[in-house]
Amino acid sequence: MEETIQPLSRIFLEFGPFKIYWYGALIGLGVFIGYLIATKEAVKRGFPKETYADLLLFALPIAIISARIYYVIFRWEQFADEPIRALYIWEGGLAIHGGVIGGMLTAYFFCKKRGYSFWQIADITAPSLILAQAIGRWGNFMNQEVYGGPVTREFLEGLMLPEFIINQMYINGTYYHPTFLYESLWNILGFAILIYLRKFNLKQGEIFMTYMIYYSVGRFVLEMVRLDYLLIGGVLKTAQVVSIIAVVAAILLIIYRRMQPQTPRYWDPALPVVEKKATKKKKKKK
């Protein structure tokens, strides 16, 4: 006899016809916590307090749009019959790689316009980014997505998981690997590692490159277990291809920047900010 287990509600709050889904609420929570952590570190490094508020004003919507476009491109068969559903982001379907690409491109032009070091901003952002991803994965959990191959209930109980996670992994009559949880825990460990690396005053960009390598290695392995993956040409797993490219690119960039004797380090002050402040003070004295 098939078990009867009701999945958790996907709705976080409901006000009449308006609904806030757990998926969006948890992504928002991850962004907010990441913003607080990044802002605290940015101020310590000499950036204005409003730096990340200004950056997120542009980067967040662009990251969401690029994450959705990335997902829709590689899962078009899901939307071909009803293209309007491509706009229904509350149903899930935001690809992390697409979001990171869009967000970092926005950060690059933002830094160029403000005169900041892109690599220093990337380093400050990296721990916040991976922590936000760890929190956001729980939105996938509420949507019953990002799961792996079938397993038994006994297997999940053997992982010492709480009952609500085990029950939520019961989908269409079968229990599945909670790969969302594996990735979330991997990302939390990555957050601790990236925060720890701040103590070593590495070359600018190396904390972010470490994030790229660390996350990509974990994602590559997890894609071997996941069932709901994106494909390139119906053959290659998109996340694995992107992960390999990211690891190789990050290693080459670390080597290249290490070979440049003038490459600034993480603890170096945000020189453009200091110069602007000094300029303002001189004007006031006049």
Q: How far apart are CA 213 and CA 210, in angstroms?
A: 5
One-letter amino acid for residue 94 of the chain: L
User: In sequence order, which residues have a C-beta less than 8 Å from that of residue 161 and are 6 or more positions away?
Assistant: 178, 181
Higher pLDDT, 100 or 232: 100
- 165 Cβ partners below 8 Å, 6+ apart? 141, 156, 178, 181
Would you say 228 and 177 are in contact if contact means Cβ atoms under 8 Å apart?
A: no
User: For residues 238 and 166, which has the higher predicted lDDT (pLDDT)?
Assistant: 166
Is the pTM of the predicted complex or chain greater than 0.85?
yes
Residue of 183, 160, 179 whose CA lies nearest to 169:
179
In the prediction, which pLDDT does 116 show?
Answer: 94
Query: What is the pLDDT at residue 174?
Result: 95
Is the Cβ–Cβ distance between 68 and 98 less than 8 Å? Answer: yes
Beta pairing class for 236-237 and 150-151: unpaired
- Residue 79: what pLDDT? 81
What does the radius of gyration of the chain's CA atoms come to, in whole angstroms? 21
**What distance in Å separates the CA atoms of residue 43 and residue 241, rounded to the nearest whole number?**
36
3-state secondary structure of 15: strand
Coil, strand or helix: which one is 229? Answer: coil
- Render pLDDT for 10-27 as a digit per residue (tens, 0 to 9): 999 998 888 899 988 999
Is residue 278 pLDDT above 60, yes or no?
Answer: no
Q: Which amino acid is at 175?
A: Y
Residue 280 has pLDDT above 80, yes or no: no
Residue extents of the structural domains in the chain:
22-276
Between CA 104 and CA 63 the distance in angstroms is 8
Residue 199 has pLDDT above 90, yes or no: yes
Residue 279 has pLDDT above 60, yes or no: no
Looking at residue 272, its pLDDT comes to: 52
- Checking if the pLDDT of 275 tops 80, the result is no
Q: Does the annotation place 226 within a ligand binding site?
A: no
* pLDDT, tens only, 257-267: 999 888 999 99
What pLDDT, in 10s, does the model give residues 54-77? Answer: 999 999 999 999 998 888 887 777
231-232 and 236-237: which strand pairing? antiparallel
Q: Is the pLDDT of residue 43 over 60?
A: yes
| Nearest one of 90, 179, 180, 183 to 130, comparing CA atoms | 183
> Is a pLDDT exceeding 60 seen at residue 159?
yes
pLDDT at 274: 44
With cut-offs at 50, 70 and 90, classify the pLDDT of residue 93. Answer: confident
Task: Select from 204, 207, 110, 145 the least CA-distant residue to 21.
Answer: 145
